[in-house]
Chain A
C-alpha cells in the first residue's frame, strides 16, 4: 500500500498568513495527488486535483505543487473561512489512500 504522510498534523495561523501543508508519499505517485478541505460536520470539498490543477469554483489563493513523492498545498493569504482540516489523497495505486489530515486553526 502507498502511504501518504501529511505535515504538520496541526497548524495555527492568522488571517492574511501564507500557509503551506506538505504531503509525502511512500513511493513515487507521479502527479496523482489531490487535496480536499473539510469543515466540521461537512463532507470534504475538492480543492486541487492532479497535484496542481485548481478545481472549478475554488479561490485562486489555493495552489498545489509537486510530483513524485513530495507535494505541497499553499494558501497564499488565509481567509477566515479557510480554517478547516485539509487532506491529501493519492490515486496512483488501485488502493486509494488519504493522508491523516492537517488541522488549520486560528492563532
Chain B
C-alpha cells in the first residue's frame, strides 16, 4: 500500500527542538523528493522545504533557514524533519508530502500526504 506514516503528536516547551518522522512504503523511496508542509490551527498551508532521499540534498524555505533540518535514512525509507528553537507560533500540524514534478524543473505538486503530526509548543 502506497502511504506515508508519520510519528505521533508531540508537546514541547518554547526553545526546545522536535523531530518528526515520516516512513514511506509502497513505492521507491529514493525516486521522489519529500516535502514538509505545516498548518497552524485553523490556518492555511505553509511549505517548509524538501529533501532528496536519494542524495540527501535539501532546500529549505528562507523563513526556516537555520532552524530546520531534514534528513533521511534510506535503510528504513524514512525522512525526518527537525525544528529547533521552538516558539508558540510553531504550534501546527506538520505533514510530509511526496513531491512530483511535471516539468522536471521542480514544478512540484504533492500527490501523497502523511496524515500529519501535531506539534504543540507550550510552556
Contacts and interface: CB of A to CB of B under 8 A. Distances in A.
Interface of A: 32, 34, 36, 42-46, 49-50, 53, 55, 87, 89, 91-92, 94-101
A46 B47 contact: no
Contacts of A46: 109-111
B72 interface: no
Interface residues of B, number: 24
Contacts, number: 59
Contact of B44 (A94, A96, A100): A100
Interface of B: 35, 44-47, 59, 61-62, 95, 97, 100-103, 106-111, 113-116
User: Binding site of A, secondary structure by majority: helix, strand, loop or mixed?
Assistant: loop
A91 B108 contact: yes
Given A89-B109, A89-B110, A98-B47, 10 more contacts: A43-B113, A43-B116, A44-B45, A44-B95, A44-B113, A45-B113, A50-B107, A92-B107, A94-B59, A96-B61
